[in-house]
A and B are shown apart, each in its own frame.
Chain A
Amino acid sequence: MKYLFLFIALVACRILNAQSASEIIKKANDKMRGKSSQAEMLFKTTRPTWSREMSVKTWSKGTQLAMILVLSPAKEKGIVFLKRKKEVWNWMPALERSIKLPPSMMTNSWMGTDFTNDDLVKEASVVDDYQHRLLKDTTIGSRPCYKIELIPKANTAVVWGKLHVTIDKNDYLELYTEFYDEEGTLINVMKADDIKMMDGRLIPTHLEMIPANKKNHKTEIFYKSIQFNREIDDNFFSIEKMKQFN
C-alpha cells in the first residue's frame, strides 16, 4: 500500500512537473510573441573573414500568420516572405511574381543567416509541437533560470531532435537555447541579452545564433523596435498585401 501511494505521488509529481514546464514555455513564448507582434530588426551574419547585414520588418499573428519584408540591402529590398498556416510564399519584386516555396525549404538557412526559414516564420510551435520536461535549475549572469527539455511530439514536422531552453524565473525571458539534431548532436546555441523595456515589456533585444563547432560563425538579431498585440487584420497576411509593399 505504501509503495502504491509512493508510486501515485511520483506520477502526480511528474504530471505537475510536466504541466509547469509547459506553462513556463507558454509564458516565455507569449512574452516574445504576444497575440500579434510587429518588429523592425537587423540581422548581422558574421564569418571569420566577412560579415553582412540585413534589415527587415516583420509582422506575426498567432502561430499561423507571419510576414517578413526585407528593407536592406538594396539588392534584396522589397523581397517579402508570407506564411499562412503551412503555406509559404515569396514575393520577388524584380520578377513581379510570387513563388510558392516547397516545405523542404523550411529547414534550410534563411537568406544566408544561421536561422532557418522555420526559425523565422515559426512553422513549429514550441508550445504545441513539443513535450516539455523540467531539468535542473541554473543561473545566467545573476538571473535564476529554469532549464527545460523539449522533445518533438510524434508525427510533428519539426526541424530539431531536441531543444534545451533556459528561461529566466522572474521575467520569463528565454535567455539561452541549445538546438540538437535527431542524433542528439548539438547544432546551434542561441543566446539572448541586452534586456530592455520595449512597448511596455521587458525583453532581450539582442539574440545570437551560434553554430556549434564552427569557430567565429554567428548571426545576431538586433531589435530596433517591437510592438505587441496591435490589431492586425487577417487579410494583411495575403499575396495582395505582399505586392503592395513595392
Chain B
Amino acid sequence: MKWLCLFSFSCLSICIPVCGQDSTTTSRNWSIAGYVKALQNIQFDPLNHSNNSNQLIHNRLRFKWKPKENLQFSMELRNRIFTGNSLHIIPNYASRLRNTSENLNLQVAWINEPDVIFHTNVERFYVDWKEKKWTFRLGRQRINWGINTLWNPNDLFNTYNFLDVDYEERPGSDAIKTQYTISDFSHVEMVYSRSLDRKDIFAMKYFLNHWSYDFQFIAGSYRGLGTWGLGWAGNIKDAGFKGEAQYFSDGQINISSGLDYMFPKGWYLNTGFLFNSEGLNEKVLIWPQINLNFSAKNLMPAKYNFLFMFSKEINPLLSISLSTVYSPRLNLIIAIPSIRYSLSSQIELDMIVQNFFLDNIHISDMGMLRARWSF
C-alpha cells in the first residue's frame, strides 16, 4: 500500500508545474488530473447548545494510461487529512472511513492519532477492454445506473448521498462489468460486485432510446433478494421528465420521479418525490431513529418524500441554490442553501449549510466552507 501513496505524491509534485498550462496531459496516452480541497465544517446542535468543528484536506488523483485504442488502465486515489472535534468524540474514527461497498482492503491510515488522521484509499482501480461490440471493465469502479435527478432507486451499486456534498464521485464497487452494444442507443450491461460484508449484487440492465425517451430495465439479485426495476428520462414539452422504480423480492418498492425546467436568465427548478414502501410513516420520538445511512434500499428514511430545488446563476462566477426535502408524516425537513463562487478558472469556493428540522424542532445545522483547486 505504501508504494501507492509514494507514487501518488511524487506524481502530484511532478504534475503541478505541468498542469499550469494545460489540463495535465503528460503524454499522448497518459493523463494525470485531480484536485485539492480544503474544507472547514461546523456542526451546531441547537438542543444541547454545542458546536463541533472539523477540518479536512481532501486530495483526489486520477491516473489514466491508454496503451492501445481498446485498452485503458485507470486508478484514482483519495487522500484525506482530518483534524477537529469529531476525532475526539467518535471512537475509532479511522475505522469508519472504510467504504462498505468495497470488498478488497485498499486503504491505509498513515497517521492515526487522537488529533489527526491521514487516510488514503484506492477509489478506482480498473482496466477497460473493448472488443467490437463488447466492453469489459474489471476492478474497483463506479457503476452509476441513476437516470433520475436526485433519488435513484435503480442505482443498486453506489447509492448517491445528497448529504455527503464533498463526495460526488461516490465509493467504488469491486466488480466485473460487461456491456454489449446492440445499436447506437441500445445496450445490455451485466455487473457482478461483492461488498465488504461479502454480499453479492448481480444485475443486468437493458437500455434503449425510443420515442425521444431513454428507458432502462433492470433485473438481478441484490444481496440475496431478487430485484426488478425500470427508469426513464424524457421531456414533457420543454420540461425534463425522469423517473425510476425498483422492486425487491422482500416486497419493498422505491419509486421516484420528477420534473426539471430551466427558466430564462439561469433560473433552474427541479421538483420530485420518492416513495419508499418500507420508510417510516409516523412521528419518531428521537432523532437517532432516523437512518441517514443511505443505500439502494434506504434512499430516504421516510415513506413519502418531496424535493423542491431551485438554483440561479447570478453571473458565470456566482451561483446560488436551495434544496429542500420534506417528509410529511415524519415531519422531517432538510433545507440545504448553498453559494458557489469561482475565484479563478482553477479555484472555486463553496458555502453549504444543511439544516435539519424534525417535527418543528430544530435538530441540527451543518455549515461547510470549501475551497477547491483543480488541476
CB-based contact B214/A75 at 8 Å: no
CB-based contact A100/B263 at 8 Å: no
Measured in the bound complex, the distance between the Cα atoms of B260 and A239 in whole Å is 21
A25 nearest CB across to chain B (Å): 27
CB-based contact B181/A102 at 8 Å: no
Partner of A104, one of B19, B181, B263, B346: B263
Q: Mark B178-193, 1 if CB is under 8 A from A, else 0.
A: 0001001101000000
16 A-B pairs in the complex with CB atoms less than 8 angstroms apart: A73-B346, A74-B346, A74-B374, A75-B372, A94-B168, A95-B169, A96-B142, A97-B146, A102-B238, A103-B238, A104-B238, A104-B239, A107-B264, A112-B316, A112-B317, A246-B64
CB-based contact B374/A75 at 8 Å: yes
B145 nearest CB across to chain A (Å): 8
Q: Does B261 contact A (CB under 8 A)?
A: yes
Q: Mark B4-28, 1 if CB is under 8 A from A, else 0.
A: 0000000000000001001110000
Known: A77-B23, A104-B262. 15 other contacts (CB 8 A): A45-B316, A72-B22, A72-B23, A74-B35, A74-B374, A75-B372, A86-B212, A95-B170, A102-B239, A102-B261, A104-B239, A108-B266, A109-B266, A238-B185, A240-B181
Nearest A residue to B172 via CB reads A96
CB-based contact B315/A47 at 8 Å: yes
A98 nearest CB across to chain B (Å): 8
Measured in the bound complex, the distance between the Cα atoms of B143 and A95 in whole Å is 9
B114 nearest CB across to chain A (Å): 33
Q: Mark B233-247, 1 if CB is under 8 A from A, else 0.
A: 111011110100000
Q: Does B371 contact A (CB under 8 A)?
A: no
- What residues of chain A lie closer than 8 Å to B342, measured between beta carbons? 52
Tell which of A77, A101, A107 has the most Cβ of chain B within 10 Å.
Answer: A77
Q: Does A234 contact B (CB under 8 A)?
A: yes
Measured in the bound complex, the distance between the Cα atoms of B130 and A238 in whole Å is 16
- What residues of chain B lie closer than 8 Å to A45, measured between beta carbons? 316
A225 nearest CB across to chain B (Å): 16
A114 nearest CB across to chain B (Å): 9
Q: Does A235 contact B (CB under 8 A)?
A: yes
Q: Mark A108-119, 1 if CB is under 8 A from B, else 0.
A: 110011000000
How many residues on chain B are close to A (CB under 8 Å)? 50
CB-based contact A74/B33 at 8 Å: yes
In residues 133-181 of chain B, which contact A (Cβ within 8 Å)? 142-144, 146-147, 149, 168-170, 181
Q: Does B228 contact A (CB under 8 A)?
A: no
In residues 11-51 of chain B, which contact A (Cβ within 8 Å)? 19, 22-24, 33, 35
- What residues of chain B lie closer than 8 Å to A113, measured between beta carbons? 316
In residues 34-78 of chain A, which contact B (Cβ within 8 Å)? 45, 47, 50, 52-53, 71-75, 77
Q: Contacts A75-B346, A102-B262; is A235 near B184 (CB within 8 Å)?
A: yes
- What residues of chain A lie closer than 8 Å to B264, measured between beta carbons? 107-108
Q: Mark A207-246, 1 if CB is under 8 A from B, else 0.
A: 0000000000000000000000000001101111000101
Nearest A residue to B187 via CB reads A240
Nearest A residue to B345 via CB reads A73
- What residues of chain B lie closer than 8 Å to A94, measured between beta carbons? 168-169
CB-based contact B375/A74 at 8 Å: yes
- What residues of chain A lie closer than 8 Å to B265, measured between beta carbons? 108
